[in-house]
Structure 1
Amino acid sequence: MEPRSATYKPFKGTDQSNVVLFSILYYTYLTASVGTKVVLFCQPICSDYVILATWGIDLGGKFNCSIAYHPEKNETNSTCHDKGLTWFSRPDQNTSLQIDPVAVSHEGNYSCEIVTLDGNFHHYYHLQVLGKEHHVL
């Protein structure tokens, strides 16, 4: 799917001659099997300076959490208690999210937002988990 972009006007009273704000949106639908590893990529397209990187995780209302990286403070914060949801690498080098191993409980929606001086970049994922566990009665 092609990225979607929108241009926003600055607040009233600001010097509009040098202010351009924009947002780029990506949507990805993917499937993964139980027990595999998935990496959800989220990189700014045209900026070298990241102000904030955030992953929002919504697993169908059963479990919501977020993971954030603040480069200026070199600090990460997480409200996720699932040890399978981690940064793929060092977040100052790669803002991708790793799910390892994938479990049925990981099915849901993931959103990444990268805030830069050039604008905001959003990447939304819907993860469907295949090979769901069967319970023996």
Structure 2
Amino acid sequence: MALTWSVLAAFLLLLINLVEVPAYNMVNVEAGHEAVLSCPSVSKASLLMVIWKTKCSTCCLLSYRSDHNQTMKLNCSERMTWKYSPDSDPDLRIYPVSLGDEGHYTCEIISSEGNFLFFSFLTVIVPPTVTLTFDKSTGAVCQASAGKPAADISWIPPNNASTSEVHHPNGTVTRVSWVNTTLSTVTCLVTHPATNQSLFLDLQSLWLHKLAERSAAPVATTNFRSTPSRVKMEAVKPPVLSEHIYQNYSSRTVYMNY
């Protein structure tokens, strides 16, 4: 029995030495930017093979074999490459990043020192398109379209705003907030990991413009014929009040969190 336990202990110790405890890395990157997924590096002398796998075994496979100095790429997008040389720095580079790249990635290092696993989860964020409009039935309407994750919307001064959101098939979310107010001005604040925006709307100017259109007096036009005894009066219709849309979009890089 003592011999059996000693053999089992030796076997477990061998497994611990050969397969290190996997590490985990969270990476957040804005769509259209560059993502770099890290993999632990080992000395060139001990390196045998590097293997990158995406979230499923039948998807992307990127590998390097040191004894043949050979790389292999299977079912991988051209946007996925080695960041540098795989024998010195086996990081994975994805550029430009798209929503379809989001998910789990596994890097495996096989060396004479043992096998090492490193897991990464790539999150792709998308800045929303932000607009602030005025609608005569609902009031001021602030909309953050197709963002990932959904943007947060608040108002200055604070109001009892109504909100709604639409989830799109690609994972983005459109969030809308609207408020009916008697204040002369409102400011919409949109908070998102990729962009923070502040949009201002002068409601007083809109109301004055609308009031001026309604109170515009008809303009008489005269249509002379051979004898100016018959006069035709025509009222000039005011133009339809159009929505005032303010858009201020400026994306910025969101740095990766390791």
TM-score scaled to structure 1, two decimals?
0.74
- Give the unaligned 5+ runs of structure 2: 1-8, 129-145, 147-167, 169-258
- Asked if residue 53 in structure 1 is aligned to residue 55 in structure 2, the reply is no
Q: Which residue of structure 1 lines up, in the alignment, with residue 11 of structure 2?
A: 9
* Matching of residues 1-137 of structure 1 within 5 Å: 9=11, 20-44=17-41, 48-58=45-55, 64-131=59-126, 134=146
Distance (whole Å) between structure 2 residues aligned to residue 94 and residue 51 of structure 1: 14
What CA RMSD, in Å, does the superposition of the two structures yield over aligned residues?
Answer: 2.8
Distance (whole Å) between structure 1 residues aligned to residue 11 and residue 127 of structure 2: 46
User: What is the SS of the residue equivalent to 1:29?
Assistant: strand
Q: Which has the higher contact order (CA 8 A, sep 6+)?
A: 1
Distance (whole Å) between structure 1 residues aligned to residue 43 and residue 88 of structure 2: 15
Q: In the TM superposition, what is the alpha-carbon distance from 1:49 to its structure 2 partner? A: 1.2
Q: Which of the two has greater helix per residue?
A: 2
- Give the unaligned 5+ runs of structure 1: 1-6, 11-15
Q: In the TM superposition, what is the alpha-carbon distance from 1:80 to its structure 2 partner? A: 2.9
TM-score scaled to structure 2, two decimals?
0.41
Q: State the percentage of identical aligned residues.
A: 26
What is the count of residue pairs matched by the alignment?
119
Q: Which of the two has greater strand per residue?
A: 1
Distance (whole Å) between structure 2 residues aligned to residue 120 and residue 57 of structure 1: 18
Q: In the TM superposition, what is the alpha-carbon distance from 1:132 to its structure 2 partner? A: 7.1
Q: In the TM superposition, what is the alpha-carbon distance from 1:38 to its structure 2 partner? A: 1.1
Distance (whole Å) between structure 2 residues aligned to residue 34 and residue 25 of structure 1: 28
Question: Is the CA contact 2:41–2:89 (under 8 Å) kept in the aligned structure 1?
Answer: no
- Name the larger-Rg structure: 2
